[in-house]
Amino acid sequence: MKESTFIIRSNTQIARSVYKMELCGDIFDITRPGQFVNIKLEGFFLRRPISVCDAEDGLLTVIYKVVGNGTSKMSKMNCGDTLDLLTGLGNGYDLSKSGEYPLLIGGGVGVPPLYMLCKRLISENKRPSVILGFNSSDEIILAEDFKSLGVDVKVTTADGSAGIKGFVTDAMDGISYSYFYTCGPMPMFRAIEKKALTSGQFSFEERMGCGFGACMGCSCKTKYGYKRICRDGPVLEREEIVW
């Protein structure tokens, strides 16, 4: 974990209530896809944990949804403004278990960390497939970015306004995969758990206090005892999760 000052290079709206922020700073401690940063905002006691979408050449990309006063303040920040970040948080995804044909499944703002994961898998000569799920077409993010990586991308929307009508599990039929990685809301996780044919890794979205394991506020029960989502997670393996 490292505390650093980052400078905002861009902060743009990319979908309904969703923003993409690019920051310049020290990304040395961000080593694995699936890690997150904890952002300090003036006037707020608790930091905001945001997953890392990408980290390369001194540039950090995060994508966040405006859901409260803190993220609303973030959405109004401008180029040149600075933010205090804790970086290198969380365990991230383990790529060593992916096999040759990993399947990446993202829902809503759980999609961003899968982008960096996809890039890393491709760099290791793996051949990932991607399923992205949203409520409607105006919430779709990163679909074109994934396609630009040369991978097969299936988009689902609950209302049928784009892609396949339904949920991510409706797009899993017919896909051959060696392992899966996913990030998104709990109802999606439960559906994937019932349908998935292989082992896999789930990246959990939990409310956090400190973000680095001191307060125990994000502890959850696993088959091997209690784990802190911020420090022992956010990524947990399928075999250890208590549903």
Please give the Cα distance from 203 to 113 (Å, whole number).
9
Mean pLDDT of the chain: 94
What's residue 225's pLDDT?
84
What's residue 152's pLDDT?
98
Nearest Cα residue to 168 out of 148, 190, 193, 188: 188
What's residue 39's pLDDT?
97
pLDDT range class, residue 68, cuts 50, 70, 90: very high
What's residue 190's pLDDT?
97
Average pLDDT over residues 132-153: 98
As a CATH number, domain 95-240 is 3.40.50.80
Cis preceding linkage at 234, omega within 30: yes
pLDDT in tens, 9-30: 999 999 999 999 999 999 999 9
pLDDT in tens, 51-65: 999 999 999 999 999
As a CATH number, domain 2-89 is 2.40.30.10
User: Contact, 126 vs 101, CB < 8 A?
Assistant: yes
Q: Which residues of the chain does CATH 3.40.50.80 include? A: 95-240
Q: How far is CA 89 from CA 52, 125, 159, 163, in A?
A: 10, 27, 35, 34
- State pTM to two decimals: 0.95
Would you give the DSSP letter of residue 11? E
What's residue 112's pLDDT?
98
What's residue 27's pLDDT?
98
Average pLDDT over residues 223-231: 82
User: What does the radius of gyration of the chain's CA atoms come to, in whole angstroms?
Assistant: 17
Portion of the chain with pLDDT greater than 90, in percent: 87
Q: How far is CA 131 from CA 62, 169, 236, in A?
A: 20, 9, 20
Residue-wise burial string across 188-227, b where 16 or more C-beta atoms lie within 10 A, e elsewhere:
bbebbeeebeeebbbbbbeebbbbbbeeebbbeebeeeeb
Give the three-class secondary structure for 47.
coil
Q: Which residues of the chain does CATH 2.40.30.10 include? A: 2-89
Nearest Cα residue to 108 out of 72, 138, 143, 132: 132
Average pLDDT over residues 60-76: 97
Distance of CA 14 to the CA centre of its chain: 16
pLDDT in tens, 164-223: 999 999 999 999 999 999 999 999 999 999 999 999 999 997 665 666 656 655 778 888
Q: Is the pLDDT of residue 33 over 60?
A: yes
DSSP codes of every residue in 143-212: HHHHHHTT-EEEEEETTSSSSEES-GGGG-TT---SEEEEES-HHHHHHHHHH--S-EEEE-----SSSS
